[in-house]
Chains A and B, each alone.
Chain A
Amino acid sequence: MSVGNGGSAGHLAVRDLSIHFPTDDGLVRAVDGLSFTLERGKTLGIVGESGSGKSVTSLGILGLHKGGHARISGEIWLDGEELVSASADAVRKLRGKKMAMIFQDPLSAMHPYYTVGHQIVEAYRIHNQVSKAAARRHAIDMLGRVGIPEPAQRVDNYPHEFSGGMRQRAMIAMALSCDPELLIADEPTTALDVTVQAQILDLMRDLQREFDSALIIITHDLGVVAELSDDILVMYGGKCIEYGTADDVFYRPEHPYTWGLLGSMPRLDRAPTERLLPIKGSPPSLINVPPGCAFHPRCPYEERTEGRASTEVPGLLETEGGHLVRCHLPREERRAIWENDVKPMLETT
């Protein structure tokens, strides 16, 4: 992965980001040494199960852990500015303006007491010196662009008067109202029905092209990731365990966890399989991440590493052209397993 200086290599550059929370039960290593870069106009999908640290990462980039108990280290560069060491005030000025977020549940992310228009106007006027009337025109314009019918009337509706899909559209309008360079969508369609999900995914794809922002989409749904992402980062136990282009991760995955995710998922685009191929066990607690490779207690190939899996943390190493994998197995062996054992199982079983 190319990591440049101060964002020159990418609009967003995250380097060795760690976010730890001290608790009574121990230190929660929610994010542990995460690095990636992202250009404007590109989409990064972050995939992982619950407790893998994907949402904490997004809140960390937005600076929403500042002032809490979190211990944050590493660097986050956005367009030449470093955010980890920046003051909470400085980050707040960027939030909404240069970076914005779309949350999973628009009903709880929007204030029920204010109209949708009011909330968009407020966000817009904090960052732009414009009159209320101009901001309102902008809000109506944005609502129209995200596909809300009769935006001039709907702008005065309260969130509860919108349906789930429309609320998510309104939230996207709010997030895009200041034309942010970075947009983070945390499970943007998980709360929606499948037909509405398809509408929102189409909308996000179209708007990203139009606004040319960098988009991070965080989800557990590999289908959603495949629809939108250029690059994919797979997280497990607070660490990136595989990173590559969408093609790398879907057609040439090299980490046993990624294989497990692909095998766990029933797929409509293939003939039905007799049985799913689940991963044994359950995801680790972030207080008590297994030593060595965090995945080793669930890994079917653990014994092939001669004990290194349980003692030594594998490095995130490049296997080919920007495709990074954190695994002790030698590259040739991983490829042989994928080609001979895993891939045929996924396709036929």
Chain B
Amino acid sequence: MTTPKDTAPVSDAPGSAAAPGEGAARQGEPLLSVRDLQKHFPVTKGLLQRQVGAVKAVDGVTFDVYPGETLGLVGESGCGKTTTGRLITRLLEPTGGSVAFEGRDITHMSQGHLRPLRRDMQMIFQDPYSSLNPRHTVGTIVGAPFRIQGIETEHGVKKAVQEILALVGLNPEHYNRYPHEFSGGQRQRIGIARTLALKPKLIIADEPVSALDVSIQAQVVNLLEDLQNELNLTYVVIAHDLSVVRHISDRVAVMYLGKVVEIADRKSLYGAPMHPYTNALLSAVPIPDPKGRAGRDRIRLTGDVPSPLNPPPACRFHTRCWKAQEVCKQQEPPLVELATGHKVACHFPENAPAQKADAAV
């Protein structure tokens, strides 16, 4: 095992300082506040459907999202990032904890009361093939939010829809076409147009580009950024691709087995990651540089992510962690702020401010 400090394949050179919104976004009241959010899916057995256990998909997640910023949620499959997204939009009912949107607690709000809020909170789905009704035209799909919310527009729904189609880079004349007539990238644009229809404040994007080809991925990423600047949107982007997340996020939260293990602004997280898991994730990303492969010492994590049905006690990462000590098996590390805006849940964090003073900048 190697020391991760010099293996992290990330160069956060001065270029990143120019990134917009970095640090600056965290002003005023949070748009979204998630506190100790939990979702346990019951596991039942037998004729009586007796509950014999629970999959703790999300188990105590806390974070804030400020207006105008992009928060990236990363982690491997089964870490609970998608469930978190669906809890925030209340597509799933939380088991515990709270979600507050613009200061209002929406954790257990009824669907009827939620409906007006849905205007402000929308979701982009991963698969542009299954998230669009094949029997509806683009006009119907993108116009649906207006009908459902009963919104009158100045020049009629059609005009409004066509404006949105143009905004996301689709031809407004394609209003009457069906989803199958579009390519994958165009379909994802249709999905984005639908979420934008009612000018929401917060968009939860669940793997918005992972089903797309590389060249199309870049188009959609740029589109999301342009729309954010133009419409002052706030994003929560859920993704497994660490390089895409670094590109679009202002702050990033890393999840492991239903918990946030590290959350920080992008520069600190990628430049000076504190949690061993974040280090391992970053060093595992293949780098498109053939010369680099010889010199890199990768942190090799052994084994797979344990089942969330039966997560390891205390620190959930201790079974795969090379720094694990006895205390990691006994005591769960709390998520504490070790540098300004940089929280980590680890007993033995790397790059802690004592060792590296500039990590907090």
Contacts and interface: CB of A to CB of B under 8 A. Distances in A.
B15 A273 contact: yes
Nearest to B75: A193
Nearest to B182: A282
A195 B240 CA distance: 11
A199 B300 contact: yes
A131 interface: no
Interface stretch (B131-139, B197-205, B212-220): B212-220
A112 interface: no
Interface in A220-260: 220-227, 229, 246-247, 250-251, 260
Given A268-B282, A272-B247, A278 B218 contact: yes
B321 to A, nearest CB: 12
Contacts of A274: 18-19
A198 B15 CA distance: 28
Nearest to B244: A266
A271 interface: yes
Contacts of B213: 49-50, 220, 282-283
B81 to A, nearest CB: 12
B183 A282 contact: yes
B216 A194 contact: no
Contacts of A271: 11-16
Interface string B254-274: 000000000000100010000
B210 to A, nearest CB: 10
B246 interface: yes
A194 B284 contact: yes
Contacts of A199: 300-302
Interface residues of A, number: 52
A278 B216 contact: yes
B218 A263 contact: yes
Given A164-B304, A195-B76, A275-B225, A269 B287 contact: yes
A278 B219 contact: yes
Contact of B286 (A50, A163, A198, A280): A198
Determine which residue in B77, B214, B283, B304 has the highest number of CB atoms from chain A within 10 A of its CB, and name it: B214
B290 interface: yes
A261 B214 contact: yes
A200 to B, nearest CB: 11
Interface string B220-246: 011001000000000000001011101
B281 interface: yes
A194 B76 contact: yes
Interface in A272-312: 272-280, 282-283
Interface in A185-219: 193-199, 201-202
Contacts of B19: 272, 274
B28 interface: no
A76 interface: no
Determine which residue in A49, A247, A277 has the highest number of CB atoms from chain B within 10 A of its CB, and name it: A49
Nearest to B220: A278
B285 interface: yes
Contact of A272 (B246, B280, B304): B246
B9 interface: yes
A265 B293 CA distance: 18
A223 B290 contact: no
B28 to A, nearest CB: 25
Interface string B172-187: 0000000000011110
B301 A223 contact: no
B112 interface: no
Nearest to B284: A198
A140 interface: no
A269 to B, nearest CB: 5
A278 B222 contact: yes
B306 to A, nearest CB: 10
A348 B222 CA distance: 17
Nearest to B246: A272
B152 interface: no
B15 A348 contact: yes
A226 B293 contact: yes
B113 interface: no
Contact of A229 (B243, B247, B290): B290
A165 interface: yes
A262 B12 CA distance: 19
Contacts of A268: 9-10, 242-243, 246, 270, 282, 285, 287
A279 B15 CA distance: 23
Contact of A166 (B217, B242, B291, B304): B304
A269 B12 contact: no
A264 interface: yes
Interface string B53-77: 0000000000000000000000011
Contact of B288 (A163, A226, A260, A283): A226
A69 interface: no
Contacts of B14: 271
A267 B217 CA distance: 13
A276 B221 contact: yes
B38 to A, nearest CB: 23
A225 B243 CA distance: 16
A260 to B, nearest CB: 6
Given A271-B12, A282-B216, A193 B76 contact: yes
Nearest to B211: A50
Interface of B: 9-16, 18-19, 76-77, 183-186, 213-219, 221-222, 225, 240, 242-244, 246-247, 266, 270, 280-293, 298, 300-302, 304-305
Given A227-B287, A266-B246, A271-B12, 11 more contacts: A49-B213, A197-B284, A198-B283, A220-B214, A222-B288, A224-B286, A261-B215, A274-B18, A278-B216, A279-B215, A279-B219
17 contacts: A49-B215, A195-B284, A196-B76, A196-B304, A197-B284, A198-B286, A226-B292, A229-B290, A251-B291, A260-B215, A264-B217, A268-B270, A268-B287, A272-B247, A278-B218, A278-B222, A280-B219
